[in-house]
Amino acid sequence: MTARVRVTAGGSLLFHCPGCGNTHAVRLRPPGQWTWNGNAELPSVQPSVNVVGRCHATIRNGRISFTPNDTTHALRGKTVDLPPWEDAAQWDSEVDRDAKENP
């Protein structure tokens, strides 16, 4: 099994973003924020994750799709596999805390 996400003790779900190269975090608790299907290998997360002005993505079944209009990096409009969490060393350790639920 290849985990693509990690859940922190505080109830945040983390994943490595192949589009902007950062680690994004969304809050699963308290209820009413993001929901996750509980599958670390083929995660689905709702709603979309929007780092405004940079990176707006939907995660479904282990793949991440970037919006064509309000994503600014090279993967805009594309869908790719979420990278394995185990490859963390190659990623920026920054965790975005400004990801907002898509209105």
* 3 state SS for 36-102: ECCCCCCCCEEEEEEECCCEEEEEECCEEEECCCCCCCCCCCCEEECCCHHHHHHCCCCEECCCEEC
Rounded to whole angstroms, how far apart are CA atoms 100 and 52? 8
Which residue, 30 or 43, is less far from Zn ion as judged by CB? 43
- Residue closest to Zn ion (Cβ): 17
Closest separation between CB of residue 86 and Zn ion, Å?
19
Closest separation between CB of residue 29 and Zn ion, Å?
22
Which residue, 17 or 26, is less far from Zn ion as judged by CB? 17
Which residue, 41 or 94, is less far from Zn ion as judged by CB? 94
Residues that bind Zn ion (CB under 5 A): 17, 19-20, 55
Closest separation between CB of residue 19 and Zn ion, Å?
5
Q: Please give the backbone phi and psi of residue 80, each rounded to the nearest 5 degrees, phi first.
A: -140, 165
